[in-house]
Chain A
Amino acid sequence: MGNASGNKIVISSDLGEAQKLQQKVLREVQLAGYCEDACFAIRLALDEALCNAVKHGNQLDPDRNVEVEYSIDEKLVRIAVTDEGEGFKPGQLDDPTHGNNLERPSGRGVMLIKAYMSEVKYNERGNRVEMVKYRDCKLPEGNSSPQG
């Protein structure tokens, strides 16, 4: 079971296509026997990463694509999401839990990805995020303070 060799799928900047892709990846994660908590975490993080790529990275531009690479094996699920936008600096985002930011309707996606995944890494440009979820990862309960 699993798909350690990896998959690469390219979608347009369409949230409906992103949803279908998310469902496909989740089905494979479930078939690989990952527990419900892990599936919840991966679904949430992947949804946030795809929405960020489509809406913020690619600005919903139909001429821009989102590339998703993923692999699933006994130990971990690895997912990389790359958009064709200018990128951003994750460390420069406002803390959505701080002060008046709490009442802002947006700005929580990056934080949730960090809270739920075992490892999160952005490339220098900021248009690609790599996320890893270990099979035995207890996040978010066991989470120590995430690194910026």
Chain B
Amino acid sequence: MGSTFAIEQHLGDYLMPDTESRLRVAEGDGVTRIVFLDKNILEEASIQKIGDEISALIDTSSNPKVLINFENVEHLSSAALGTLITVNNKIRQKGGQLRLTNIDPQIYEVFAITKLNKLFQIHDDAESAVKTFK
């Protein structure tokens, strides 16, 4: 019993790294659901980290189906848009699919002005987005 507890403790340490994630991730039914935790995606270092985290998730799948939820996002910069494009390119290279959901109207306007609403598949909510995965 004592040795089992020690193993669990070790796994707990392994599962909770020191660096703080900026994403909440859930896997289910073949879909990777990602929620941004930051409300302001403006800072370069944060954007880089977000990109690295999502890339690492994509690497674990041969045919990634990824859904990114923007429900907490109030501000983002063009650098964040750039990271989304890079993520989209990576997913497509692996034959996968990406959906964006729960985008606030002000944020959606940024997508529309830059015409990125034509590049990404954007849905009102996660449930309707999931139905569109092939």
- Measured CB to CB, the residues of A under 8 A from B are 15-16, 19, 22, 37, 40, 43-44, 47-48, 51, 96-97, 102-106, 108-109, 111-112, 115, 140-141
Q: List 10 A-B contacts (CB under 8 A).
A: A16-B45, A19-B42, A22-B42, A37-B106, A102-B119, A103-B89, A105-B83, A108-B78, A112-B113, A141-B109
Shortest A22–chain B CB gap in Å is 8
Shortest B91–chain A CB gap in Å is 13
A106-B82 in contact (CB<8A) = yes
Shortest A58–chain B CB gap in Å is 14
- Measured CB to CB, the residues of B under 8 A from A are 42-45, 75, 77-79, 81-83, 85-86, 89, 106, 109-110, 113-116, 118-119
Selected contact of A97 from candidates B45, B83, B115, CB within 8 Å: B115
Selected contact of B119 from candidates A15, A19, A48, A103, CB within 8 Å: A103
Selected contact of B113 from candidates A19, A22, A106, A140, CB within 8 Å: A140
A103 to B43, CA, bound (A): 21
Contact partners of A97 in chain B: CB under 8 A:
114-115
A22 to B42, CA, bound (A): 11
A96-B85 in contact (CB<8A) = no
A104 to B79, CA, bound (A): 11
B114-A111 in contact (CB<8A) = yes
13 new A-B contacts at CB < 8 Å, known A44-B110, A106-B79: A15-B43, A37-B106, A47-B42, A51-B44, A97-B114, A102-B118, A103-B89, A104-B82, A105-B81, A105-B85, A108-B114, A109-B78, A112-B78
Contact partners of B82 in chain A: CB under 8 A:
104-106, 108
A141 to B110, CA, bound (A): 11
- Minimum CB distance partner of A102 in chain B: B119
Selected contact of B116 from candidates A16, A19, A102, A141, CB within 8 Å: A102
A47 to B105, CA, bound (A): 19
Contact partners of A22 in chain B: CB under 8 A:
42
Contact partners of A48 in chain B: CB under 8 A:
77-78
Contact partners of B115 in chain A: CB under 8 A:
97, 102
Selected contact of A51 from candidates B45, B77, B86, B109, CB within 8 Å: B77
Contact partners of B42 in chain A: CB under 8 A:
19, 22, 43, 47
